[in-house]
Chain A
Amino acid sequence: MELTVNGVRHDVISPPLTTLLNVLREELYVTSPKAGCEQGGCGACTVHVDGRPRRACLLPLAAVEGAEITTVEGLSEGEELSTVQAAFHEHYAAQCGFCTSGFVMAAEALVNAEPAHPVGRDEIIEALSGHVCRCTGYAKILDAVAAASRGEGSVDNEPAFASTGGEPEGGAPTKGAPA
């Protein structure tokens, strides 16, 4: 079966009922989507199928033959991060990082949806509601997605962290997103 993953065409040999998750991880060595539950309950396996976010653990290979699959590995161009990736990094939206791939793909679909619009908190929660995180308590993830939807990845996609050279600016350290 043929599958295009992050722009690369593959002749896949896994059996047709193999989940897309196992095709990606075991046959194609694309490991960003994770086996969090293999039942569609956690969102750690979410990838894009023809641009829409889907649970890779629920899709048999035969159902996505010929489709264009995008994973986190396909978001950045060289060292340049997508706006969503940069926002997640800048806003500390990942701790252990295991859920991050799934959240990023869900956020990409939301932030890049047509027509473009700044998304409110409720809309973000609704779009990401299939994703479980056990570390962060979600607040910084929501901040990151809101920032990304405002186009605030950061200037030139370089995360906006203070440099470690020179004196720190005065005042208490800020946690999370600047307002």
Chain B
Amino acid sequence: MKAIGARLPRYDGLGHVKGQTQYVDDVRVHGTLWVKALRSPHHSALIKSIDTSKAESMPGVFAIVTAKDVPKNVYGHLEALGVPADEPLIAEDDVRWKGQIVGAVAATTQEAAQAAVDAIEVAYEEREPVLDIRTAADPGADSFHQWGPIYPHFGPHNHRRVRKGDVDAAFDKADVIVEGVYRPQAIEHVPMETQTSLVVPEPSGRLTIYSCTQAMYFSMGVVAAHLGWPLNKLKFVGGTVGGGFGGKVDTATETICALLAIKSKRPVKWRFTREEEFLVSSTRAPWHVEIRDAVTNDGWILGRRMLTLHDSGAYSRFSPYGLTKHAFHHTGAYTIPNLRFDGFVIFTNRVPTTAMRGFGVTSVSLATEMHLSRVAKVIGMDPFELRLKNANRIGDTTGNRVVMHDPSTVPVTLAAAEAAGIELGADYRAMTSDRRTGDLLPEHLVDQQAPDGEHLMTYRGANGGGA
């Protein structure tokens, strides 16, 4: 408790300012080989043949791996939960995004490794790429993915759904329907340290893996699964990550380095170039979000219909998880009682997308906040006042029935208005997070309000039979 209120030094601060903090690329092990990858030049193509023979005899080349060298090439982190895997470590029969790995070389220098990569001969048969999530799932559309264009494993559904109340009735009662389409685009994490790992074979037969991963135990599991090894044959050494922001959870280099280290019996390092980092490392996903709100002239949002398409890129990775979080937050910080949300994870021939700060939620925040401002404009209401009226309050329930016990929407919105120098009406300035009553509890919000006095986690509504 002595630390609270005190200014404490970062435990790694001295290392940082003295240039002594050790990142993966700063670890020095004699005899380390460099890795370069052979990557697909096509968005979508069949692989007809791969010939590594010329590359194998080039100077400095110690090992080359392709799909056939991977004990378990297709592995997904949700396999243990019964969700099938879709992504190979190294492309087998086809390539599904420009930059997908088709092979990798470990050699004495970066130049030697790259020269060997350039000497690997691959015959491709190009396919028409799928690049637009809006049309990828059209009836009759071809899909390159074995599951079709839409990720199918949301329980019994092929989409994430939220249903609450009676959205049709809400739309009937509305004075005006406000529509909007929002399309946040992909964002690259741009960590200052690019993806890097160094794998060292130990005399005991174990591998020591220096990794820039943000998720050490997770990456350990991924490597072990692809190799078919028990976890205790791997020693992961993490440490200071030179910026991750969600982009270093994909275990991008470790497994291939492990395979090359085993094959070459030498330490093997792979450091992405900045070009690789920009072009082929995973990004935040692009989204397509359509919102339709049923609105009264005095600013109540009675109901919301929402369709989200999430661009997963060529494989699913963590997209279902991101979409799920997006779904849970699709009403934003506001209480909307009648909901119909459908969200789809769509496959395209783009780099597979991944987590990035606020995974799944930043997209929905952008969409819902922009949409509320649009609603305010349409009905001629102050955008702060619209938000305050519909803000989460104690006892309100979210789209998935979670009961709000300590929402911050009202005080934060008031503080923002004050900081922006916006004059609000007296009624609005006086608002608090207290349970809705009186004018702030119109008929359409009664059913969703959890009973007072019981600390419920969830509440299904007066007609829904309790928590």
Does chain A touch chain B in the assembled complex, meaning CB atoms less than 8 Å apart?
A: yes
Interface residues in chain A, defined as those with a beta carbon under 8 Å from any beta carbon in chain B: 25, 29, 31-39, 41-42, 44, 71-73, 75-76, 81, 85-86, 88-89, 92, 94, 96-101, 104, 132-135, 159-174
Asked if B5 and A88 make an inter-chain contact with CB atoms under 8 angstroms apart, the answer reads no
The docked-state distance in angstroms from the alpha carbon of A132 to that of B189 is 13
Contacts of A32 in B (CB 8 A): 19-20
- A75: chain B residues at CB < 8 Å are 18
The answer to whether B6 and A73 touch across the interface, beta carbons within 8 angstroms, is no
B243 and A88 contact, CB distance less than 8 A: no
11 more contacts with CB within 8 A, not counting A35-B194, A97-B12, are A31-B26, A35-B25, A36-B193, A76-B18, A88-B13, A89-B10, A134-B245, A159-B13, A164-B3, A168-B6, A169-B6
B452: shortest Cβ distance to chain A, in Å?
34
Chain A, residue nearest B244 (CB)? A96
Establish whether residues A99 and B8, one from each chain, have CB atoms under 8 Å apart when the complex forms. no
In the assembly, what is the distance between CA of A33 and CA of B124, in Å? 41
B49 at the interface (CB under 8 A from A): no
Tell me the nearest residue of chain A to B8, going by C-beta.
A161
The chain A residue with its CB closest to the CB of B192 is: A98
If A76-B18, A159-B9, A174-B7 touch, whether A34 touches B193 (CB-CB below 8 Å) is yes
Complex Cα spacing A140 to B105, Å:
42
CA distance A47 to B193 in the complex (A): 18
B22 contact set on A, CB distance < 8 A: 31
A161 in contact with B9 (CB, 8 Å): yes
Q: Is B191 an interface residue (CB 8 A)?
A: yes
Chain B interface, >50% SS class = loop
Could you tell me the distance between the alpha carbons of A37 and B28 in the complex, rounded to whole angstroms?
A: 20
In the bound complex, CA of A161 to CA of B16 (Å): 17
Size of the B side of the interface (Cβ < 8 Å), in residues, is: 38
Distance in Å: Cβ of B6 to nearest Cβ of chain A: 4
Q: Which residue of A lies closest to B21 (CB)?
A: A97
Query: In the complex, what distance in Å separates the CA atom of A161 from the CA atom of B3?
Result: 11
Q: How far is the CA of A104 from the CA of B20 in the complex (A)?
A: 13
Which residues of the other chain, B, contact A39 by a CB distance below 8 angstroms? Answer: 274
Q: Is B57 interfacial (CB-CB < 8 Å)?
A: no
Complex Cα spacing A172 to B4, Å: 9
Q: Are B18's CB and A132's CB within 8 A?
A: no
Measured CA separation A135–B244 after assembly (Å): 9
Alpha-carbon gap, A51 to B449, bound state (A): 68
Q: How far is the CB of A36 from chain B (nearest CB, A)?
A: 5
A-contact 0/1 string along B268-309, CB 8 Å cutoff: 000101100000000000000000000000000000000000
Q: Are A164 and B18 in contact (CB under 8 A)?
A: no
Are B2 and A165 in contact (CB-based, < 8 A)? Answer: yes
Give A33 to B190 CA distance when docked, in angstroms. 18
Closest to B10 in A: A92
B192 A173 Cβ-Cβ under 8 A = no
Residues of A within 8 Å of B5, CB to CB, are: 168-173
How many A-B contacts if CB must be within 8 Å? Answer: 131
The 30 sampled A-B contact pairs (Cβ below 8 Å) are A25-B25, A29-B28, A31-B25, A34-B23, A35-B25, A36-B194, A38-B273, A39-B274, A41-B274, A42-B192, A71-B19, A73-B18, A88-B17, A96-B242, A97-B242, A98-B193, A100-B16, A104-B17, A132-B190, A135-B243, A161-B8, A161-B9, A162-B6, A162-B8, A167-B2, A168-B4, A169-B6, A170-B5, A173-B4, A173-B7
On whether the beta carbons of A89 and B13 are closer than 8 Å, the reply is yes
B15 proximal to A (CB < 8 A): yes
Give the nearest-CB partner of A39 in chain B. Answer: B274
Please state if A101 and B192 are interface contacts (CB–CB under 8 Å): no
Of the candidates B19, B21, B274, the one having the most CB atoms from chain A within 10 angstroms of its own CB is: B19
Q: In the complex, what residue of chain A is closest to B15 when comparing beta carbons?
A: A97
A37, closest chain B residue (CB):
B274
CB contact under 8 A between A94 and B17, given known A34-B192, A167-B2, A168-B6: yes
Beta-carbon contact of B18 and A81 below 8 Å: yes
CB distance from A88 to the nearest CB of B (A): 5
- Check if A96 sits within 8 Å of B18, measured CB to CB: no
Contacts of B29 in A (CB 8 A): none
Chain A residue numbers with a CB within 8 Å of B19 are: 31-33, 71-73, 100-101, 104
**Among B2, B7, B9, B240, which residue has its beta carbon within 8 angstroms of that of A96?**
B240
- B28: A residues at CB distance < 8 A: 29, 31
Give Cα A81–Cα B17 distance, bound, in whole angstroms.
9
User: A166 to chain B: closest CB distance in Å?
Assistant: 7
Q: Is B241 positioned at the interface, with any CB of A under 8 Å from its CB? A: yes
Set of chain B residues within 8 Å of A85, measured between Cβ atoms: 17-18
Nearest CB on A from B27, distance (A): 9
- Does B14 count as interface, using CB distance less than 8 angstroms? yes
Question: When each residue 16-54 of chain B gets 1 if its CB lies under 8 Å from chain A and 0 otherwise, what string results?
Answer: 111111110110100000000000000000000000000
Given contacts A98-B243, A162-B8, contact A36 B2 (CB under 8 A): no
Q: Which of B2, B9, B17, B241 contacts A100 (CB 8 A)?
A: B17
A168 touches B2 (CB 8 A): yes
Residues of B within 8 A of A29 (CB): 28
Establish whether residues B21 and A38, one from each chain, have CB atoms under 8 Å apart when the complex forms: no
On chain A, the residues within 8 Å of B6 by CB distance are 161-164, 168-169, 173
Most-contacted residue by chain B among A42, A97, A169 (CB, 10 A):
A97
